[in-house]
Amino acid sequence: MPGVRVVLITSSRGGPMEEQIIAGHTLIANRAHERRRYPRVEVAWGMTLGWGSRLKWPGQVVSLGPFGVKVQLGGNDATPPRGSQVRLEFTPPDQRAPLAIKGIVWRVDPDGLAIALLNLSIRDFHRLKTLVDQWRAS
């Protein structure tokens, strides 16, 4: 299409953004959300995080998806570095048993840790997916 220019730029959060200039108008769309395999929802659920020799580290799940979560840790302690394997424990508000899930720190942001979930059972995956779907519908 003549007059269309696509340029990849980097957002302040480090994710790629796409800029399209069409007939003198600029459209910018954050492509990070498009790359996710499933949507996430914002939540505020208490959790504990296990990392290294520290068994219980209080915090909060602030974003939830069936493939990953974002957490904020309480206190001013050092956070697990990128690539660290961690264990999350939290109880979703679906009146079922608490979840204990392994993950890896994918990214360390000023507002928390992005954690990719590892080795989820099919049951836990479907539970998280259902929670996301219900949260989005409400």
Give span(s): CATH 2.40.10.220, the chain.
41-137
- What single-letter amino acid sits at 4? V
> Residue 90: is it exposed, middle or buried by C-beta count within 10 angstroms (0-12/13-18/19+)?
buried
Per-residue pLDDT tens over the stretch 55-68 = 678 999 999 999 99
Per-residue pLDDT tens over the stretch 77-120 = 678 899 999 999 999 999 999 999 999 999 999 999 999 999 99
Predicted confidence at residue 99, as pLDDT, reads: 96
Per-residue pLDDT tens over the stretch 4-45 = 343 333 334 444 444 343 444 443 444 444 566 889 999 999
Name the class of domain 41-137: mainly beta
Contact yes or no for 79/58 (Cβ under 8 A): no
Q: Model's pTM, two decimal places?
A: 0.72
